[in-house]
Amino acid sequence: MSGHGLNMSSRDLMSIRRKACIAGAYEHPTREAPDKTVAQLHAECARGALEDAGLRLEDVDGYFCAGDAPGLGANNMADYLGLRPRHVDTTDTGGSAYLVHVSHAAQAIAMGKCNVALITLAGRPRSEGSSGVAPRLVGAGTPDVPWEAPYAPVTVNMYALAAARHMYEYGTTSEQLAWIKVAAATHAQHNPNAMLRDQVTVDDVLASPMISDPLRRLDCCVVSDGGGALLVVRPEIAHSLKRPIVNVLGAGEAIKGQLNGQVDLTFSGAAWSGPRAFGEAGVKPSDIQYASIYDSFTITVLMQIEDLGFCEKGKGGRFVADGNLISGVGKLPFNTDGGGLCNNHPANRGGITKVIEAVRQLRGETHAKVQVPNCNLALAQGTGGLLGSRHGSATLIMERA
């Protein structure tokens, strides 16, 4: 029926704007956990988020997890954690799933389906020898696999194809992409838990080995063990706690694929999820003071920045250059924890850490060297799956009340 023109804006309809708060946020400090199970890491993250919020396990009545959680959907982990949820959601859009979970948790809270929603992510890809140049595991019967597997798509080349086309269309350069890594590394110096804490230069990035043209090793995120957890709660509950209030203002989600064979690698799903989130939040890109931008690879950041409207399409290369993403230096401070490029990419899924750092910024709890002064409005953006074939995009806008 949508083809028949239902022309209501999201503001006319029921919205999640200020209907829920992020009251707990916890990033596991480990980056290598050979002696812990994935389930244990989930539990440690849940405990950390509950302690952060000042809530108890028995307060949790909603549970959200995705494909990194062992077992059948939420069944096994909810049981393992001792939860008795009355609302569950196992939406999986790859690494962006946890941003979708925040939105869906806010919807559930607005509808009275739960009061305290726990979201957990954890994984051990580092200990298990995961790599961006290994074939990705996919379920039997995945319909696109027979048509693509013989060509050896791996994670990095399915981002490289988008980077190559962006360079062809818009003249984007490897030096410009390198600036994204330089900004992340500048921030990571101040994060004692970051996996990579050394400052790097544009020349260091360009001197690193070519993995899949035009992406070099330092254009790629880290492979780290760890995890994170979030608590999304009813506003009355958030106001009863001792933590700063972080409201969910708006969210958007989208899945972008190969467009039935009309492949267009010049944009990501953020071009669709972004406007939905800005529309619901009632703000515009120039209002955003801090942005967590999914950084599986440098090109992922550049394309999402364009697609979210922080700059004109095709001008992302110029926008990210010369330190424009460095906190205290540039116009758009991004990934002040060091991001996936330097800090952490647990379970090969960077979504939850994007939300966690945005919450830290809104609370004013990041390192003084990277804290955005009076940070009241932040965005988190995720792209999960493969930029060059099919991915789930999620945009989340949050405010400090």
Partner 1 sequence: MTTMYQDRPLGSAVHDPATEPFFAATAIGSLRVKICVSCRKPHWYPRPLCPYCLGDAEWSDVTGKGEIYSVSVTRRAGPTPYAIAYVRLDEGITMLSNIVDCDLDSLRIGQRVHVVFKPAENGTMIPMFAPGPG
- Give the interface with partner 1 as residue ranges (CB under 8 A): 133-134, 143-154, 156-157, 160-165, 168, 209-215, 258, 260-263, 265, 388-389
Q: Encoding tokens for residue 238?
A: 């958030």
H/E segment holding residue 363: helix 351-363
Question: Of 227 and 385, which has the nearer Cβ to partner 1?
Answer: 385
- Beta-carbon contacts of residue 49 (< 8 Å; ≥ 6 apart): 24, 25, 26, 118, 120, 228, 229, 230, 231
User: Which of these, 183, 162, 393, 360, lies nearest to 277 by C-alpha position?
Assistant: 393
Kindly state the smallest distance separating residue 260's Cβ from partner 1, in Å. 4
Kindly state the smallest distance separating residue 267's Cβ from partner 1, in Å. 14
Question: Of 16 and 164, which has the nearer Cβ to partner 1?
Answer: 164
Question: Of 211 and 326, which has the nearer Cβ to partner 1?
Answer: 211
Question: Of 296 and 327, which has the nearer Cβ to partner 1?
Answer: 296
Q: Encoding tokens for residue 211?
A: 């993995």
Please compute, for residue 289, the number of CA atoms within 13 A of its CA located in the half-sphere on the CB side. 18
Reduced to 3 states (helix: H, G, I; strand: E, B; else coil), residue 393 is strand
d(CA 386, CA 247): 30
Can you name the residues that pair with 246 across neighbouring β-strands? 400
Write out the E strands in 69-212: 87-89, 116-123, 210-212
Question: Of 112 and 146, which has the nearer Cβ to partner 1?
Answer: 146
Tell me whether the omega of the peptide bond preceding residue 214 falls within 30 degrees of 0, making it cis: yes
Question: Of 8 and 152, which has the nearer Cβ to partner 1?
Answer: 152
Question: Of 82 and 135, which has the nearer Cβ to partner 1?
Answer: 135
Query: What is the pairing mode between strands 377-385 and 290-293?
Result: parallel
d(CA 183, CA 370): 11
Reduced to 3 states (helix: H, G, I; strand: E, B; else coil), residue 42 is helix
Kindly state the smallest distance separating residue 295's Cβ from partner 1, in Å. 19
Kindly state the smallest distance separating residue 177's Cβ from partner 1, in Å. 14
Kindly state the smallest distance separating residue 206's Cβ from partner 1, in Å. 15
User: Which of these, 291, 360, 284, lies nearest to 327 by C-alpha position?
Assistant: 291
Kindly state the smallest distance separating residue 265's Cβ from partner 1, in Å. 6
Question: Of 163 and 233, which has the nearer Cβ to partner 1?
Answer: 163
Kindly state the smallest distance separating residue 52's Cβ from partner 1, in Å. 40
Question: Of 15 and 155, which has the nearer Cβ to partner 1?
Answer: 155
Kindly state the smallest distance separating residue 153's Cβ from partner 1, in Å. 6
Looking at residue 377, the DSSP 8-state letter turns out to be: E
- Beta-carbon contacts of residue 253 (< 8 Å; ≥ 6 apart): 93, 96, 99, 100, 103, 273, 276, 392, 393, 394, 395
Kindly state the smallest distance separating residue 5's Cβ from partner 1, in Å. 18
Q: Are 50 and 231 in contact (CB under 8 A)?
A: yes
